[in-house]
């Protein structure tokens, strides 16, 4: 269960990578929002396999079909059903893993939990599930446009190569100009070279994605359990391969002193702002009008293109040599997924905050 996300704006997803289709239902989409189909497909293209030399070689068109909820070019406020038919499946590539547990994959836990599993392509735990999240996020972004809220994520670390500056030091629009989605061209080139090298070795590599949300009004987030950053954290950690989340000055700076870290309030043109933003745009769980920024740690993909030891369903030792087409590094394609989850959280919390007399 629990393939639904959100409280007022919700996304429910379905589908396995080797079934008939993947898709979902968006509920709570505000009515009267122009449907921007080309934007939707451009978001899909950002997540699509086969987009560059450093992603999986699978070619999937990922053409989204909208089944409901749009009338004469606008959203109607009723649920938006959508689907993407699966194509270009090489299900036979997975026949060799039918009876074994791939290391650090969900094969074993699914089998134990459900008593059976669809072994082809990871079934429900496949990264293909994130496709539906990007659709949900694209609709959320269409609504956020009206509010002037913008979301941009980028790759800030691959292996030991990391951007040293803060998000303010880069033109984030440049992130989309290279395959690795890093806004600094030189660093991007080094990251890309590293990924290529790792791929050539049949290995994989992880890193960090940073995301910035600008234009969020004051007041989003609920004080106790549903703090805005807690919802963002849950959303990001629900993405395949995400192992950590922090916001504002997180793990790197948590050991510092209060006197270095508090954000002084200042009045500016009749508005309250802060002279610094160590808080990451959220205080007491509620947005304060400053930029929200956070980081997500992604582990290296568990599927190696080399031989690894494992065991069969019956517990016998065996050797696995993955055959499918896999990403050596998940980060470039995870960038739009991070944005999509952020967009859905922010819109949902905007609507929650609007629920007033």
- Give the per-residue contact string, 260-289, with a copy of itself (x = CB under 8 A; - = no): xxxxxxxx--x-x-x---xxx--xxxxxx-
The nearer residue to a copy of itself, 134 or 208, going by C-beta atoms, is 208
Give the one residue of 42, 63, 68, 99 binding a copy of itself; rule: CB under 8 A: 68
Q: Does 292 bind a copy of itself (CB under 8 A)?
A: no
Rounded Cα distance, 181 and 338, in Å: 12
Residue 303: φ, ψ to 5°: -85, 110
Other beta carbons less than 10 A from residue 236's beta carbon: 25
Ranges within 147-186 binding a copy of itself (CB under 8 A): 147, 157-160, 162
Ranges within 188-227 binding a copy of itself (CB under 8 A): 198, 203-208, 218-219, 221-227
DSSP per-residue string spanning 275-319: S--TTTTEETTEE-SSPEEEEEEEPPPS--SSEEEEEETTS-EEE
Sign of the C-alpha dihedral, residues 14, 17, 21, 25? positive
Ranges within 113-152 binding a copy of itself (CB under 8 A): 113-118, 123-125, 129, 143, 146-147
The nearer residue to a copy of itself, 173 or 256, going by C-beta atoms, is 256
The tokens 């007041």 sit on which residue? 219
Other beta carbons less than 10 A from residue 275's beta carbon: 10
Stretch that binds a copy of itself, among 5-13, 36-44, 163-171, 172-180 (CB under 8 A): 5-13
Number of residues that bind a copy of itself (CB under 8 A): 152
The nearer residue to a copy of itself, 25 or 213, going by C-beta atoms, is 25
Torsion-angle region of 260 (φ positive above 0: left; ψ -120 to 50: alpha; else: beta) = alpha
* Long-range pairs of 177-186 with CB within 8 A, sequence gap ≥ 24: 179/51, 179/52, 179/53, 179/54, 179/55, 179/332, 180/54, 180/155, 180/331, 180/332, 181/153, 181/154, 181/155, 181/331, 181/332, 181/335, 182/154, 182/155, 182/156, 182/158, 183/154
The nearer residue to a copy of itself, 173 or 247, going by C-beta atoms, is 247
Q: Does 109 bind a copy of itself (CB under 8 A)?
A: yes
The nearer residue to a copy of itself, 186 or 225, going by C-beta atoms, is 225
Ranges within 334-353 binding a copy of itself (CB under 8 A): 350-353
Q: Does 2 bind a copy of itself (CB under 8 A)?
A: yes
The nearer residue to a copy of itself, 160 or 186, going by C-beta atoms, is 160
Rounded Cα distance, 117 and 267, in Å: 58
How far, in whole angstroms, is CA 196 from its chain's centroid?
Answer: 22
Ranges within 233-262 binding a copy of itself (CB under 8 A): 233-235, 237-238, 243-251, 254-262
Q: Does 319 bind a copy of itself (CB under 8 A)?
A: no
Ranges within 85-104 binding a copy of itself (CB under 8 A): 101, 103-104
- Give the per-residue contact string, 11-50, with a copy of itself (x = CB under 8 A; - = no): -xxxxx--xxxxxxx-xx-xxxx-----------------
Assigned token pair, 273: 């702002």
Assigned token pair, 60: 């999937």
Q: Least distance in Å: CB of 173 to a copy of itself?
A: 25
């Amino acid at each position: 269960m629990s393939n639904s996300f959100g409280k007022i704006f919700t996304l429910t997803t379905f589908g396995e990578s080797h079934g008939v289709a993947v898709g979902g239902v968006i509920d709570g989409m505000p009515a009267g929002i122009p449907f921007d189909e080309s934007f939707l497909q451009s978001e899909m293209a950002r997540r699509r396999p086969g987009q560059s030399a450093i992603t999986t070689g699978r070619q999937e068109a990922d053409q989204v079909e909208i089944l409901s909820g749009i009338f004469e070019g606008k959203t109607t406020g009723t649920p938006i059903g959508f689907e993407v038919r699966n194509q270009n499946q090489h299900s036979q590539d997975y026949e060799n893993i039918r009876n074994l547990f791939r290391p650090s994959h969900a094969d074993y836990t699914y089998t134990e939990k459900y008593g059976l599993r669809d072994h082809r392509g990871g079934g429900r735990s496949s990264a293909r599930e994130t496709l539906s999240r990007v659709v949900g996020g694209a609709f959320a972004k269409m609504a956020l446009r009206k509010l002037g809220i913008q979301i941009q994520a980028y790759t800030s670390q691959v292996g030991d190569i990391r951007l040293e500056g803060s998000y303010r030091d880069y033109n984030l629009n440049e992130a989309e100009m290279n395959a690795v989605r890093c806004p600094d061209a030189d660093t991007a080139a080094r990251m890309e070279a590293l990924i290529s090298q790792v791929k050539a070795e049949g290995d994989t590599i992880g890193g960090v994605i940073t995301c910035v949300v600008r234009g969020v009004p004051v007041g989003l987030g609920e004080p106790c359990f549903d703090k805005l950053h807690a919802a963002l954290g849950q959303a990001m950690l629900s993405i395949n391969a995400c192992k950590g989340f922090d916001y504002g000055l997180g793990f790197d700076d948590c050991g510092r002193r209060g006197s270095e870290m508090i954000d002084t309030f200042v009045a500016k043109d009749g508005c309250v702002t802060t002279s610094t933003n160590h808080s990451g745009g959220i205080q007491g769980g509620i947005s304060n009008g400053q930029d929200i920024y956070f980081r997500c740690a992604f582990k290296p993909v568990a599927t190696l293109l080399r031989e690894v030891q494992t065991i069969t369903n019956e517990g016998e030792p065996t050797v696995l040599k993955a055959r499918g087409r896999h990403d050596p590094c998940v980060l470039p394609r995870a960038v739009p997924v991070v944005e999509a989850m952020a967009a859905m959280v922010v819109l949902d919390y905007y609507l929650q905050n609007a629920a007033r007399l």
